[in-house]
Amino acid sequence: MRALPFSPNSDETGAHAERRQEILEAAAQLFAERGYKATSIRQIADAAGMMAGSLYYHIESKESLFVEIHNRALDAAASRIFSAIAPHTAPWARLEAACTELLDIQLSLTSITLPMMNSIVSAPPDVRDALVKKRDEFESIFRNIIDDLPLPATIDRDIYRILLLRALNTANDWYRSGRMSHDQIAHQIFTIFKHQAESETDITASSRPRSRSAAPPRRSRAARGTGAPVSSEI
């Protein structure tokens, strides 16, 4: 059973807030398992134990419900990542902490964050635009961290971020528990990206043309081969 990573809205109280939370939990479970397109209002109402018509007393539409769950899931994930990076000041340490936390979120069997993000493709265009905007806001956490990294000029930071997030967000496709823990997998991914960046830095440094050292001043005829002081003449 997937759990909502957020609490009821503090602006809502009483039975209405409790009922709405039940609807959010039922909808999140269905969206995570079936995706946006394959989930109907009737299915959400059935899962919440109510009539489909009564559902609209608590929500505006299926679209708005999906956007709310998606956005609140990303907000909860962002909160966890901010807490994880808070103790660190060094850019590489902050990136490793962020990678470790995000991977743990994405590999959790009860998390709805990854399924909700994956459901973006099946949402209507207008809904998708709102979801992409929120996703970009979430990814700005990594953008800001990567902007502070000592990367060489040959590495495009946007491409670096996209590839790193793709590695973290698709780990669920191949990860099998047993050989390595979530933290160990995250450390492997982080180490590979850090090593690649440092290797590129070394390559860039070694490929720079070396400045020609100044030729030593010529000695005067009288001083050549005598061990006498070098002449100041050129």
Rg, Å, the chain Cα set = 28
> What does the alpha-carbon distance between residue 4 and residue 197 come to, in Å, rounded to a whole number?
37
> What does the alpha-carbon distance between residue 125 and residue 37 come to, in Å, rounded to a whole number?
12
Closest CA relative to residue 115, chosen from 8, 33, 43: 33
Residue 99 lies inside a defined structural domain of this protein: yes
Give the single-character DSSP code of 77: H
Residue 164 has pLDDT above 70, yes or no: yes
Count CB-CB contacts under 10 A for residue 164. 20
What CATH number is associated with residue 68?
1.10.357.10
pLDDT in tens, 108-152: 988 888 888 888 888 889 889 999 999 999 999 999 999 999 999
Give the single-character DSSP code of 121: G
Residue 206 has pLDDT above 80, yes or no: no
Tell me the two tokens of residue 127.
């809904």
Query: Residue 160: which domain range?
Result: 62-204
Instruction: Label residue 201 by pLDDT band (50, 70, 90).
Output: low
> What does the alpha-carbon distance between residue 87 and residue 49 come to, in Å, rounded to a whole number?
44
| % pLDDT > 70, the chain | 80
Tell me the two tokens of residue 229.
């002081």
The more confidently predicted of residues 168 and 208 is 168
Residue 135 lies inside a defined structural domain of this protein: yes
Q: What is the pTM of this model?
A: 0.78
Helices assigned H by DSSP within 5-124: 14-34, 41-48, 52-55, 62-85, 91-107, 113-118
Say if residues 33 and 42 touch (Cβ distance below 8 Å). no
Tell me the two tokens of residue 122.
């099946």
Picking from 8-22, 107-121, 136-150, 179-193, which range would have the lowest pLDDT averaged per residue? 8-22
Residue 228 lies inside a defined structural domain of this protein: no
Name residue, tokens 């018509």: 53
Domain total of the chain: 1
Contacts of 210 (CB under 8 A, 6+ apart): none
pLDDT in tens, 38-73: 999 999 999 999 998 889 989 999 999 999 999 999
pLDDT at 10: 52
- What is the secondary structure of 152-204 as a DSSP string? -TTS-HHHHHHHHHHHHHTGGGT--TTSS-HHHHHHHHHHHHHHHHHHHHHHH
Instruction: Label residue 222 by pLDDT band (50, 70, 90).
Output: very low
Residue 216 lies inside a defined structural domain of this protein: no
> What does the alpha-carbon distance between residue 148 and residue 94 come to, in Å, rounded to a whole number?
10
Residue 231 has pLDDT above 50, yes or no: no
Residue 100 lies inside a defined structural domain of this protein: yes
Residue 142 lies inside a defined structural domain of this protein: yes
pLDDT at 196: 85
Contacts of 59 (CB under 8 A, 6+ apart): 20, 23, 65
pLDDT at 207: 54
Picking from 11-25, 26-40, 93-107, which range would have the lowest pLDDT averaged per residue? 11-25
Residue 13 lies inside a defined structural domain of this protein: no
State the burial class of residue 109 (Cβ atoms within 10 Å of its Cβ: 0-12, 13-18, 19+).
exposed
Residue 77 lies inside a defined structural domain of this protein: yes
Mean pLDDT over each residue of the chain, to the nearest integer: 83
